[in-house]
Amino acid sequence: MTVGFSGEVAEYYARFRRGYRPELLDALQEAFGLTAGDTALDLGCGTGQLAVPLAERVGSVLGMDPEPDMLRLARRAADEAGVRNATWVLGADTDVPALGTLLGRGSLAMTAIGQALHWMDHEQLFRELRPLLRPGGGIAVIANGVPLWQQESYWSDALRGYLERYFGTVLQATCGTADEDQDRYARALHAAGYDGVREIDHRYRVELTFEELVGGVCSAVPAGRLPTPADRPHFAAGLRAALPDGPYAEEVRVRVLVGRTSG
């Protein structure tokens, strides 16, 4: 999994990426029977938006990501939150077998993959994770809302149009949040031998400021394509001119695909 979310992109990610609400953590705890004796893996953990609050629900959390800058900021977030039971590991989905050799069979209660699975070989990953999970544990694939430029609103359409003109590309990727993505992941979980595959769905509404909108966009741009500091005022000014006045109402749909091991 090579994404290029380093440097300033990681900083934007830490500041502006949407976090995970307590309702989601409650659902994960219930789905896998998480206890203070369990270890959970957050694969593709980014800057710790999920791993840090999840640490309060288990004995220990492993946050794994291929970008050193992401892990540096995740460690900072954990320190600021007083979390002492999180370990940060440099690695990608292709490193799961090596992680399994280190941890041993049945060592994980849960593996969470939040808005990162579209960068991974999910079929192979599901197979390789299964022996690492304890009975009753499993995988949670989390789609934490759709991309800002793929929503059903006037401002999202305007945002997508501007970004397509600015970057000279067509923005079609759903980052694993579309119905067909969820169906494909569900079939792969079944094929890999997971039981009780189901979706947990909850929704809420937020209003974004213009700064939050720009920050969210910059958190999703690979480092090599991020506007330079000198170009960023021009980028922001063009975006402001293209958009209606804010705030920007966002209907957030969180979809959690759960697959459990027998036990």
Task: Read off the pLDDT of residues 76-102 as tens digits, 9 standing for 90 and up.
Answer: 999 999 999 999 999 999 999 999 999
Which one of 3.40.50.10860, 3.40.1190.10, 3.40.50.150, 1.10.3720.10 gives the CATH number of domain 7-147+175-207+252-260? 3.40.50.150
Closest by alpha carbon to 32, among 147, 125, 116, 110? 110
Task: Read off the pLDDT of residues 176-232 as tens digits, 9 standing for 90 and up.
Answer: 778 888 999 999 999 999 999 999 999 999 999 999 999 999 998 888 899 999 999
pLDDT at 2 over 80: no
pLDDT at 237 over 50: yes
Helix/strand/coil for 174: coil
Give the lowest-confidence range in 35-44, 169-178, 235-244: 169-178
Task: Read off the pLDDT of residues 13-62 as tens digits, 9 standing for 90 and up.
Answer: 999 999 999 999 999 999 999 999 999 999 999 999 999 999 999 999 99
Model pLDDT, residue 263: 65
Strand-strand pairing, 133-144 and 248-260: antiparallel
Please tell me the distance from the alpha carbon of residue 205 to that of residue 229, in angstroms, as a whole number: 32
Model pLDDT, residue 262: 84
- Provide the residue ranges of all domains of the chain, joining segments of one domain with +: 7-147+175-207+252-260
Task: Read off the pLDDT of residues 115-138 as tens digits, 9 standing for 90 and up.
Answer: 888 889 999 999 999 999 999 999
Model pLDDT, residue 1: 45
Please tell me the distance from the alpha carbon of residue 52 to that of residue 34, in angstroms, as a whole number: 15
CB 198 within 8 A of CB 141: no
Report, as an integer, the average pLDDT of 167-184.
84
Please tell me the distance from the alpha carbon of residue 195 to that of residue 190, in angstroms, as a whole number: 7
CA distances from residue 87 to 39, 45, 51, 120 in whole angstroms, order as listed: 11, 11, 10, 22
Helix/strand/coil for 126: helix
Classify residue 105 as exposed, middle or buried by CB count within 10 Å of its CB (0-12, 13-18, 19+). exposed
